[in-house]
């Protein structure tokens, strides 16, 4: 009988603990509500991506961190020295090769 009472107390304590530390319920949106996009959402124009680089005086491949950056500088910035063979591909031995 003593074991039964101890077991019931442990079960009650465990239930109380789980009740106090239960995770917050998450609201679930039904799939049918989101399956059909509205006409406005289908014709929405996305904003243009922001420009990641800007001309800041760098001219050499050793100053670049990627092929994308070297290409941007080569095409948009004055006095770059990154396309030695003038084939339109900058930093061929370091980044864009």
pTM of the shown model: 0.48
More confident residue, 51 or 80: 80
The answer to the question of residue 71 being in a domain is yes
The answer to the question of residue 86 being in a domain is yes
pLDDT tier at 74, thresholds 50, 70, 90: very high
- Residue 4: φ, ψ to 5°: -65, -40
Contact 73, 64 (CB under 8 A): yes
CA distance 55 to 62: 15
Examine the pLDDT at 66 and tell me if it is beyond 70.
yes
The answer to the question of residue 93 being in a domain is yes
The residue range of the domain holding 89 is: 56-97
Across the range 55-67, mean pLDDT stands at: 93
Question: What's the total number of domains in the chain?
Answer: 1
């Amino acid at each position: 009988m003593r074991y039964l009472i101890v077991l019931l107390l442990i079960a009650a304590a465990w239930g109380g603990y789980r009740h106090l530390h239960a995770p917050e319920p998450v609201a679930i949106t039904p799939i049918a509500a989101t399956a059909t996009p509205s006409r406005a959402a289908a014709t929405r124009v996305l904003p243009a991506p922001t420009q990641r680089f800007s001309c800041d005086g760098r001219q050499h491949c050793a100053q670049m961190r990627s092929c994308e950056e070297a290409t941007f500088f080569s095409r948009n910035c004055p006095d770059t020295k990154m396309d030695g063979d003038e084939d339109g591909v900058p930093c061929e031995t370091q980044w864009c090769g």
